[in-house]
């Protein structure tokens, strides 16, 4: 999953800053836990250095640098914004970025205590994001398809992690999403990867959204799954009331996608517990809580 040929250290980040952005090289550098495609380093109080560590990461960073400055001004929650670009060099052969730091603690390390406020904030954020995207917006790839085109992935996660006593209920949620009509509206901007590690919390509520590497134009149901994957129990109804633009078919697709995402989180958590590459121990409990919310709704 990761490129282990080059060890990304604080000294390497400092050297790259000295070479390309010397005015920032004196700021404190400290590694940030987490990250999938990128290894992140806090730079001073207001910035972050994102160093790609997978083959796809540079393309994802370029997408963020192209579109986040367009989207950020109209979004009601803080999101990362590119500040500087790092060019490939002899020291590090991939492009890298310096982004604004979004303050808060990732939700997989904390919890939301102000559920109504968080539901309102997330709904307002997604209403602002989910506008018709321009023709040149990035298309959907593995994310963004109708659930019926994601059955192989669902089946893999289902057989890997679903307890026997929940199997019928989880399968019923997924089958209902597969049977739901397709999105008939224009392609809208979609974050594409809303889960507990990609939102941050302060004072018991959402305070920012991060990691727009999966950004695409398509079906908003992929983001609306966050009503169960991100928000605490009992908040989904309020969320959809405030969002106000989701028809029944979209909510059915979103609920199925929430089940899919929950199973993925559980599997990554199990991989983390086993010490496997790419595993995330904090994702397991978050995924199981999300699955419980899906089944209770």
Interatomic CA distance for residues 103 and 77, integer angstroms: 11
- The CA distance from 162 to 170, in Å, is 8
Closest Cα partner for 35 from 254, 229, 227, 268? 268
Are 51 and 14 within 8 A, CB to CB? no
**Of 132, 134, 122, whose CA–CA distance to 76 is shortest?**
122
- What distance in Å separates the CA atoms of residue 293 and residue 297, rounded to the nearest whole number? 6
Q: What is the mean pLDDT of each run of 10 residues along the chain (297 residues)?
A: 68 97 97 83 97 91 96 97 96 96 96 98 98 95 90 97 97 98 96 97 98 96 98 98 97 98 97 92 96 96
For the whole model, what pTM was predicted?
A: 0.94
DSSP annotation string for 149-209? G-HHHHHHHHHHH--GGGHHHHHHHHHHHHHSPPP-S--EEE----SGGGEEEETTEEEEE
pLDDT at 10: 95
């Amino acid at each position: 999953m990761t490129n282990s040929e080059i060890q990304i250290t604080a000294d390497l980040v400092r050297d790259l800053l000295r070479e390309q952005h010397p005015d920032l090289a004196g700021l404190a550098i400290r590694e940030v836990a987490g990250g999938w495609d990128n290894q992140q380093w806090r730079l001073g109080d207001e910035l972050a250095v994102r160093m790609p560590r997978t083959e796809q990461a540079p393309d994802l960073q370029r997408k963020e640098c192209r579109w986040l400055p367009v989207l950020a001004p109209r979004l009601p929650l803080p999101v990362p914004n590119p500040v500087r670009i790092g060019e490939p060099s002899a020291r590090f052969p991939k492009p890298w970025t310096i982004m604004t730091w979004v303050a808060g603690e990732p939700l997989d390390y904390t919890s939301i205590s102000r559920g109504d406020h968080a539901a309102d904030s997330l709904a307002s954020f997604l209403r602002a994001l989910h506008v018709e995207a321009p023709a040149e917006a990035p298309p959907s790839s593995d994310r963004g398809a109708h659930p019926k085109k994601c059955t192989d992935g669902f089946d893999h996660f289902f057989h890997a992690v679903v307890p026997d006593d929940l199997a019928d209920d989880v399968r019923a949620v997924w089958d209902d999403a597969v049977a739901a009509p397709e999105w008939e509206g224009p392609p809208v901007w979609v974050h594409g990867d809303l889960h507990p590690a990609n939102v941050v919390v302060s004072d018991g509520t959402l305070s920012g959204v991060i990691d727009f590497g999966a950004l695409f134009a398509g079906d908003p149901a992929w983001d609306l799954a966050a009503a169960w994957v991100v928000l605490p129990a009992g908040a989904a109804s309020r969320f959809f009331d405030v969002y106000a633009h989701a028809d029944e078919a979209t909510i059915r697709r979103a609920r199925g996608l929430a089940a899919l995402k929950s199973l993925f989180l559980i599997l990554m958590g199990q991989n983390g517990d086993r010490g496997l590459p790419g595993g995330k121990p904090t994702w397991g409990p978050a995924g199981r809580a999300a699955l419980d919310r899906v089944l209770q709704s």
